[in-house]
Amino acid sequence: MDQKSIISLRGLSVFQKNKLVLSDVSLEISSGEFVYLIGKTGSGKSSLLQIFYADLPVEQGHAEICSYNLNAIKRSEIPYLRRKLGIVFQNFQLLDDRSVSENLEFVLHATGSKDKQVIENRILQVLDRVGLISKLKSMPHQLSGGEQQRIAIARALLNDPEIILADEPTGNLDPETSNGIMKLLLEICKSGKTVIMATHNYSIINKFPGKVVKCEEGSLITN
């Protein structure tokens, strides 16, 4: 893994419930790159993301991410790896019974933050980043889909990760709202973070160019 490379895969096979999903995957992703992971539903995009955050084990081949060797990672190390990754899902996954600030506070508590002032400051920083400080006390059901996704991105930024993994982040949004989310993700990338976005929306890729990696017929193709 060279110095710039933040993800390195060599000869990796990806299995989902003993079924081979992707085989002989080799890929290098550099720090600060914006990468699209494209392919049809069921082509292995989400399974590959699960490898990245150690939700699926590496059974064949080699995988390294944020200087962690996933072939040899200990269970006790996985939470530390995940702090280097911010994960954004298609369906937002906000806690419905808590306000925006309580949703974000919950994550910081879960990852070991205890200082009340530090927590409050960090929450304001990430909400400012996504342009939603005014929604601090709102409940998720009071927000539009686009606002909920911005809060999900704010949540992903809380621990200042090196990589943002976004799994179909615009899948439930209309085109105009999707454009806003894309611009936000590109701004985050320009600030030095690596962004990997799984999508099957080709119009977004044409509008916001980046490196394209395709899951197709059990293989990974880099354009």
Residue 88 pLDDT exceeds 80: yes
Q: Are strands 194-199 and 68-69 parallel, antiparallel or unpaired?
A: unpaired
Q: What is the pLDDT of residue 1?
A: 44
Residue 3 pLDDT exceeds 80: no
Which whole-number Å values give the CA distances from 214 to 32, 90, 134, 222, in the listed order?
19, 19, 39, 6
- pLDDT tens digits for 32-60? 999 999 988 888 898 999 999 999 999 99
The pLDDT of 211-216, averaged and rounded, is: 94
Distance CA 80, CA 105 (A): 18
Q: What is the mean pLDDT of the chain?
A: 92
Eight-class DSSP state of 165: E
Beta-carbon count within 10 A of 57 CB: 12
Share of residues in the chain with pLDDT > 70 (%): 99
Q: What is the pTM of this model?
A: 0.92
Which amino acid, 115?
D
Q: What is the pLDDT of residue 20?
A: 93
Q: What is the pLDDT of residue 102?
A: 96
Beta-carbon count within 10 A of 209 CB: 10
Eight-class DSSP state of 56: S
Q: Is the dihedral of CA 99, 140, 190, 63 positive or negative?
A: positive
- pLDDT tens digits for 57-80? 999 999 999 999 999 999 999 999
Distance CA 199, CA 179 (A): 14
Residue 138 pLDDT exceeds 50: yes
Give all domains of the chain, ordered by start, each with its CATH number: 5-222 (3.40.50.300)
